[in-house]
Structures are given as C-alpha cells and as structure tokens.
Chain A
Amino acid sequence: MALLDVRGLTVEFATRAGPFRAVEGVDVTVDAGETLAIVGESGSGKSVAMLAVMGLLPWNAKVTAERIEFDGRDLRALSPRERRALVGKDLAMIFQEPMSALNPCFTVGFQIAEALSAHGAARGAEARKRAVALLAEVGIPEPEARARAFPHQMSGGMCQRAMIAMAIALRPKLLIADEPTTALDVTVQAQILDLLKRLRAETGMALVLVTHDMGVVAETADRVVVQYAGRRAEGNAAAALFAAPRHPYTAALLDALPERATGERLAAIPGAVPGPSEPRLPCAFAPRCPRAQDVCRTQAPPRASTGGEGYVHCHFPLPAPAGERAA
C-alpha cells in the first residue's frame, strides 16, 4: 500500500475573474523509501497540489479528490488535533519560500527545539542540543552560534537549510520538498541532496521532490510525474522517462535542456504556459505541440499505459523505443 495515495486531486480557486482550476485530476502516489519528482513549468500547479495535500491552501481554494490518504488515513477526515500530531512529525514539508516558514521573532535553534518538544521527542537542554546537531547535519557552519541567530540574521541559503533541519527533525515518514535547493549554491545543494538520500536509506523516508532542475531529478528521483497547466502529462520511472519520453511535452522539456543541445541553438518550446485567465483546450499543450491534430483541441487526451508503471495522457504519444516495441 502506498504511503501517500492521492487520486483525482482538483483545486479550484475563486478569483475575481471567476473560478480557476490550478490543479485538475492529479494522482500522486509514493511508497515508503521512494523518491517521486514532480516537474513542470512555472504555474503548472505543483506547489498548489502539495499545499492541498498538506491542507495549507487559503480560503479561496476548493479542494476535491477521490482520495487523499497518508499512511492509510484519510487526511481530510482528521480532526485539527490529529492533524497537528501528524503534520511536522510523520508528514513534513519544506516550502518554496523559506522565509515564510520560519518565525522571525524566535531564534532558529529555539524553533527547532520547539518542534521537537511539541511532538514529545525531546525537551529542554536535550532539545536544544538536538537542534544544534540538526543544524550541523544540514551543513550549517558554526551550528552553536547559528542556533542563537534570528532568521533575518542569516542568508537565504542558510534559512533554507535551517528549514530543512526543522523538517527532518522528527525523521518524518514523508517529506514534501518544494524546490528545496533552488536558492542554494551547487556545492551546498550537493550536500543537501546527499543528506536526503542518506535519510532515505537510513530511515526509509519517502520524498516528494518538486523542482525545475532536471539534473536534480535525474540524480535523485525513482519516479517522475510531469505536470502541465495543472494536469498530468506523463509519469514513469526516472530512467525510462529520461531515456524515452512519450508525451510531446516531456520530450520538448528535455530537448530544451542545454545538455541536450546539438548545436548553438537550443530546441526551445514556442509560446508559454497558459495563464490563469486564458482558456484551456482539452489538451492544454495543444497550442505549443508539434504533434497536435484537431482532435487534441476538441477531446481530452486518453490515458494510456506505456509499460510498467508508465502512463501518458496524449492522443499522439511518441513511439516507444525500438527495443521495447519488439519485447
């Protein structure tokens, strides 16, 4: 049974221009010890989907789903008390905006110690000692001194790491990390990614990694979900997805990488993701898609299996690589 099991997640915002579906029919399943990456261009609803799972969206959001289960429990049916006991302990999230997750009025060490004692893991001097050890674990130099610092006294990268320390303090079963290393130098990013891999190996932590960085995805994820304009495009094992993308959007995204450039010019995708006020076609990618036909603009693309755990939502997916078709 999956540790996190979300089916048909839809999030609709009430806006002045009318209702806007930021997420539409998305599935997210993660097993214990597994790393799932969610990729897609800015505005494709990655953060909104994760905030919906955590129950952290503002009042103007309407969340519907066939299922939102964590560790066998329906997250929507939890009482506020049960939710507090779960969130921050077994289920933790690292936010895209680090400053928003740290309280400016308290030192970083105090906030981590508080998180530990709130869940009964340690208190007093023991909790403070563990907080310093956690700061050291995320590679913060002079952790004793930093534990006494307020968030505004630290750089953005340092705050980001303090937040990661807080998120992993209680050794969560699942960590949802929204762009956890985007603000960091590659050297620090490498330290953090190694730390997350180690936690996964040692504690069986599952990880949902939301990121733009395809290199990070290729090096850390077991499985990848590609999202476009709030909808699923394709999902597959990471190696299979990078080797043989089947959705035209996935293929275009990979072709646009400088690593995959063949000459001076990159294979850019024309156009842009539709904005909140723009109409969406049955296949939202159709206006930018080189394979699009009339049917893409009139009928929602069907879901097709691409073998194993892979699937694609497309009327005209790219052909499977020759070896697989023969098999």
Chain B
Amino acid sequence: MTRALEASGLTRRVRAKRGAFGRTATVHALEDVSFALDAGRTLAVVGESGSGKSTLARIVALVDAPTEGALDIAGGRIDFADAAALRRRRAGVQMVFQNPYGSLNPRLTIARALAEPLDVAGVGDSASRRAAAADMMAKVGLSPEHAGRHPHMFSGGQRQRIAIARALMLRPKLLVLDEPVSALDVSIRAQILNLLADLRREFGLAYLFVSHDLSVVRHVADDVLVLYLGRIAEIGPREAIFGRPMHPYTRALLSATPRVEAADRARREPLRGEPPSPLDPPSGCAFHPRCPLATARCTAERPRLEEKRGRLVACHEA
C-alpha cells in the first residue's frame, strides 16, 4: 500500500497572552505527534475541545508550520521554510471545514468557485476547467442547473458538497476534513458520509478525519488517534480502540457518548472537571488530575507511547 502521509514528532507551540492582561506564555497546542496514513484509508482524530485536533489538521494541510517534527507527504519531506515549494505541495493536500459557508467566496458562482483552484494552479484552458467543474459537480451529486448559483442559495448539506468538490478539483491524494459533518442533520450527514466513502474509493484518497462525534468515527475510521492536551493518548485500529479501549481517557470518552441502542450502553465512567490549560500542562501524565487510575508515578513521570494489545497507548496503568 502506498503511504500517503508520515508524521513524526509534530509539535506546535504558540506564544499567546495569558488571560486578558497577563504576560505572554507558551501554548502547547500539539506535542510530539507521530503516525502514518496509507492511501485509501481514513485516520480519525478525536479528543475534547482544545485537545489540538485542528492544530494537527492545519499542519497536515500545510496551512501552519510545526515548531518541531517532520512531515512526509506522498513520500516527500515537506520543507515548511520554502514558500514556493510549499505552494506547489499544497495542491496535493486539501482541507474541508465544519462551516463550508466561511470557506466559499459568496460572490463566485459554484462553477467559478470550482474552476478557481485550476485557474490559480494554471491547469488547462478555460473550457477544460469548466468541463472539469461540471464533471466534479456530477460526482458530488449537484445538478448542472446549480452551476450558475451563489453559495447563499444552497442548504448546509449542499454547501458541504460544494466544498468537497472544490477540494477535489486539483486531484489531491490526501483530504483533511475538520469536523466535516458536525453542522449537518442526521439525514444530510448520511449523504455526505456516503459521498466521502464513494470518493475515497474512486480516487484512492486518504482522509485525516477530525471529529468529536464518536459514533461517526466508529463508522468511517480505519484507525483512530485520541488526543489529550496536544499529545497522543492512544492510537490504533478502530476495532482495538472501540472494542477494547485501554487508555482511561479513551474509555471515558466512549462511556460519555450517548447511545441509541440500549445494548451498547456501557457503565458511565464519569470524568471530573475539564481538560487543564495547555499553557501549563500538568506534570507527568497530563491526564492524571482527572484520571480514576492515577498513582504517584503518574504525577511524576510521563508515560511513553507503548504497544499493548495491538495499539499504542500512553498510560502507566493500561
């Protein structure tokens, strides 16, 4: 299988003001995140708000540079310092956001919005770009009569189709999806998830799929990466993570997820409190202040990611 992406030690620290008046301090948005993603597969990234999901997504989509670490896409190392090279590489990775309205230019018709990435990249002539746009519209289930309309005339689900179509115009190999269905209704969500499954098969795409909805993740993911305060808590195949979660944080997330089927309901392992501030993460295991299993060692020593039962987990007690 071809490797679409390899990340090693990705770290992003941001200088930010502490409180309204405070001095600047370092936000540890992402720390030492490594993983690989093969073509045709989906890696889901889950975690609470502020855990670093979007930070990771933006680095992989070549929008932000990591403070440390290396990223290889389609076998080539990304040089974040070389602006011209970076621009060329961006054609190979595209991003889709939760709110498609924000990412679509309200003044462009749909046909123009789809052709624009080709214009910018200088691909083909205007007739071939129009044809490619029409072709992609059909692929994502938009009818030809929509071509001349503006984004405000579309429903949320249709806009998400447009955003996906636009992201695919340059035939990327890797699609970074940041909460792509979180703003959609159950029925429209199903349409978009089906579309993503079809496109993945047709184009051999790899997906980095950020979502806080574990029932969606369970359906779409091949592998799952659980982030806690910018670090990997657990990463592994879907069956391992959902079938036998080992990190107490993964277990807490799963047990807090409301279930439609009574038979799926596990005993709640309620989590006290909130994720601590990434301005000064707790010592040792960052999860220890909320962890039901924490021991003295957890306060003192950070657990390393280790292989246990077919996945990697960072927990002394797992």
- Residues on A lying within 8 angstroms of B by beta carbon are 41-42, 139, 141, 153, 155, 157, 185-191, 193-194, 212-216, 218-220, 239, 242, 252-254, 256-261, 264-270, 272-273, 275
Q: Given A219-B258, A258-B218, A259-B215, check contact A187 B187 (CB 8 Å).
A: no
Q: Is the CB of B193 within 8 A of A272?
A: no
Instruction: Say how far B285's CB is from chain A's closest CB, in angstroms.
Output: 17
Among B92-100, B110-118, B231-239, B261-269, the stretch in contact with A: B261-269
Q: Is the CB of B186 within 8 A of A256?
A: yes
Q: Is the CB of B259 within 8 A of A265?
A: no
CB of B208 closer than 8 Å to a CB of A:
no
- Give the docked Cα–Cα distance between A252 and B257 (Å): 22
Q: Is the CB of A155 within 8 A of B49?
A: yes
- Give the docked Cα–Cα distance between A270 and B257 (Å): 27
Please give, as numbers and ranges, the residues of chain B lying within 8 Å of A42 by CB-CB distance.
156, 185
Q: Given A219-B265, A268-B190, check contact A186 B257 (CB 8 Å).
A: yes
Q: Given A153-B20, A155-B49, check contact A258 B258 (CB 8 Å).
A: no
In the complex, besides A219-B265, A258-B216, A261-B219, 10 extra interface pairs with C-beta distance below 8 angstroms are A153-B20, A186-B214, A187-B256, A214-B186, A215-B257, A219-B259, A257-B190, A258-B193, A264-B197, A272-B157
Q: Is the interface of B mostly helix, strand, loop or mixed?
A: helix
Q: Is the CB of A267 within 8 A of B258?
A: no
CB of B191 closer than 8 Å to a CB of A:
yes
Residue of A nearest to B182 (CB): A182
- Give the docked Cα–Cα distance between A270 and B188 (Å): 8
Q: Is the CB of A190 within 8 A of B270?
A: yes
A–B complex contacts, Cβ < 8 Å, 30 sampled = A139-B273, A141-B274, A155-B49, A185-B212, A190-B256, A190-B258, A212-B185, A216-B258, A218-B260, A218-B262, A219-B259, A239-B262, A242-B260, A256-B186, A256-B189, A257-B186, A258-B190, A258-B215, A259-B261, A261-B219, A264-B197, A266-B190, A266-B193, A266-B219, A267-B190, A268-B188, A268-B190, A269-B191, A272-B155, A272-B188
How many B residues, CB 8 Å from partner? 40
Encode B19-36 as 1/0 by CB contact (under 8 A) with A.
010000000000000000
Which of B188, B257, B260, B274 has the most chain A CB atoms inside 10 A of its CB?
B260
Please give, as numbers and ranges, the residues of chain B lying within 8 Å of A213 by CB-CB distance.
258
- Give the docked Cα–Cα distance between A214 and B212 (Å): 16
Q: Is the CB of B259 within 8 A of A189?
A: no
Q: Is the CB of B274 within 8 A of A186?
A: no
Residue of A nearest to B156 (CB): A42
Picked from B49, B157, B219, B270, the residue with its CB within 8 Å of the CB of A191 is B270
